[in-house]
Structure 1
Amino acid sequence: MLPIRDRNPSGQVPYVTWGLIAVNIVVFMAYYPLGTDTSVLELYRHWAMIPARLSAGEGLATPLVAMFVHGGWFHLGLNMLFLRIFGDNLEAEFGPVRFLAFYLLCGLIAFALQYIAAPLSLVPVAGASGAVAGVMGGYLLMFPRARVDVVAYYVIGLRTFAVPAWLLLGLWFALQVWGGLATPADGGVAFWAHIGGFVAGVGLSARTWRLRGGRMFWSRFHGLPPHPQAPIAVPVVRRRGAILPPPQAHGLFRREGDPR
């Protein structure tokens, strides 16, 4: 199954999300299409995070740079697809500056856990997967009832259907934990980076989640009207340009400018 979109419009233009996608694509295009396998490996050797180098006190800046380095079109495409699907809603919740900081911090925490799992590994680790996993973790906490359209392959062809975000993202996280426990930490897939980023995303979103009402935040919001731009959407968006009930109707929400 491959997610292709969510039914949860943010009501805003996600400038940071689109900017991150653009930067990742530009960086990738700068070295991959015109290069050779040897040049890509050389780039990984210098700019990917290599745990053994960090243990030796070298390449301390590589975890930040490695977030924007990908090994191929499939690697880049999947990361950017997931960022596009889940990033806009978190950006609407956090605001552009906080969302950018959230994304980068999740990525750094992801690399840190991968390093802890195999501090002497010589296998390069790179890509936006850890940071994007953080976005997915935040989305799971903030929008578990949102519907996500996925494409599945059947013998007779392709079919699109919607699943709740908690099911899709929960299953994805469970697969990462299984992969991390079942395979060596210095294998070809950075499962522990995915786990670290996802958990970091949940943790860094917790304060905003609590301010929005905690567990009540996961309910159906007691009869709120559907989003005017998407009648099939789960009504979970609350910032500028989105659903905001009158203050007296629900004490968890305030309009901008209302007294605190």
Structure 2
Amino acid sequence: MVIPIHDVNPVRRAPLVTTALVLVNVVVFLLTPGAAATPAGEPGPGAVCGQAAFYDRYAAIPRELVGNRPLPRVATGRVVETAGGRPACATDRPPYAKIPALSVLYAMFLHGSWLHLLGNMLYLWIFGNNIEDRLGRLGYLLLYLVSGYAAAYGFALAAPESTTPLIGASGAIAGVLGAYLVAFPRARVWSLVPFLFFIPLVLPAWAVLGLWFLLQWFYSLGYTVPGTGSVAYLAHVIGFVTGVLVMLLARAVGPGPASPGRYPPDGRPAGVGRPPRGR
């Protein structure tokens, strides 16, 4: 696994949609229970149950998506004791009306921890601006939303009985990565390589994003590393493939706002030998 820092791929217009998506994700996170979680220690039963109730209400839940109806019982946020004296989260009929299709949209802006949020925003900030430049702001936003919905519903169809909430922008951002791989496979990406003591290297986008996709696919088959068991890798795979297909379709239909003749796949503007350093 490599960690991208920035790409050498300049844009012609300010990435307003990408910036707005990052800001909205950060603001929403600060207003949700996940912001109170710290890596220093485990949250108490009250915090766990409160977070469970919040996600049952707003997150995308596979069984709800497949059946298009809310769960009959959800977490209430209260802590009760089991017969063995252990704390547990109380459940009851939901006191609210939940629309499963809208929960997918809400879930795209929910994150479980600071690490979850920052990891997603790093990839969105590095790769999103060029896709926004290539597709235009509306086209880019549609790609983001379509990829997020495809990832959530695709995962739900693969695990229709799951009641584990799906949260995070990973599926939508995976679509952005897939689109970037198609549009700019030879763009240079400064990356840190952990097994080389985090030495910064310049790698082509096809290597960085191709390796990312292969790891997601590998893990989706059931081969995981410690501490990653709660990650919906299949949703990442589906989102990435959706982004690839959308970009291939956009390229087949027409050049779009950023003409390939003026903005070739390697990120070099026409007539410029060495592009300026991007983000």
Residues 219 and 128 of structure 1: CA distance in aligned 2, closer, same or farther (over 3 Å): closer
The answer (yes or no) to whether the contact 2:6–2:191 under 8 Å persists in 1 is yes
Structure 1 Cα separation of the partners of residues 269 and 16 of structure 2: 31
1:194 — aligned with what? 236
1:153 — aligned with what? 194
- Post-superposition offset of 1:152: 2.4
1:87 — aligned with what? 128
The answer (yes or no) to whether the contact 1:10–1:92 under 8 Å persists in 2 is yes
Spell out, residue by residue over 1:25-81, the C-alpha distance to the aligned partner (whole angstroms, 9 max, x if none): 000001233473433222212111111223342241211110011000011001100
- Post-superposition offset of 1:171: 1.0
* TM-score, with length taken from structure 2: 0.74
Does 2:272 match 1:226?
Answer: yes
Name which of structure 1's ranges 218-227 and 1-10 shifts more when overlaid on structure 2: 218-227
2:96 — aligned with what? none
- Post-superposition offset of 1:122: 1.6
* Aligned length in residues: 227
1:38 — aligned with what? 49
Structure 2 Cα separation of the partners of residues 76 and 222 of structure 1: 31
- Post-superposition offset of 1:172: 0.8
The AA in structure 1 aligned to 2:194 is Y
Does 2:118 match 1:72?
Answer: no
* TM-score, with length taken from structure 1: 0.79
The AA in structure 1 aligned to 2:126 is I
The AA in structure 1 aligned to 2:23 is A
Structure 2 Cα separation of the partners of residues 219 and 17 of structure 1: 20
Q: Please give the residue correspondences for 1:196-215 in structure 2 after superposition, counting only pairs within 5 Å.
A: 196-210=238-252, 211-212=254-255
- What is the SS of the residue equivalent to 2:120? helix
Structure 1 Cα separation of the partners of residues 169 and 161 of structure 2: 22
The answer (yes or no) to whether the contact 2:186–2:205 under 8 Å persists in 1 is yes
2:12 — aligned with what? 11
Structure 2 Cα separation of the partners of residues 229 and 195 of structure 1: 31
Structure 2 Cα separation of the partners of residues 223 and 39 of structure 1: 51
Q: CA RMSD in A?
A: 2.7
Residues 62 and 164 of structure 1: CA distance in aligned 2, closer, same or farther (over 3 Å): same
Q: Please give the residue correspondences for 1:133-144 in structure 2 after superposition, counting only pairs within 5 Å.
A: 133-144=174-185
Task: Work out which of the residue numbers 178, 202, 213 in structure 1 matches 2:218.
Answer: 178
- What is the SS of the residue equivalent to 1:148? strand
Structure 1 Cα separation of the partners of residues 267 and 198 of structure 2: 34
Q: Which ranges of structure 1 fall in alignment gaps of 5 or more residues?
A: 234-260
1:24 — aligned with what? 25
Does 2:110 match 1:110?
Answer: no
Q: Which ranges of structure 2 fall in alignment gaps of 5 or more residues?
A: 38-46, 71-98
Task: Work out which of the residue numbers 203, 207, 220 in structure 2 matches 1:167.
Answer: 207
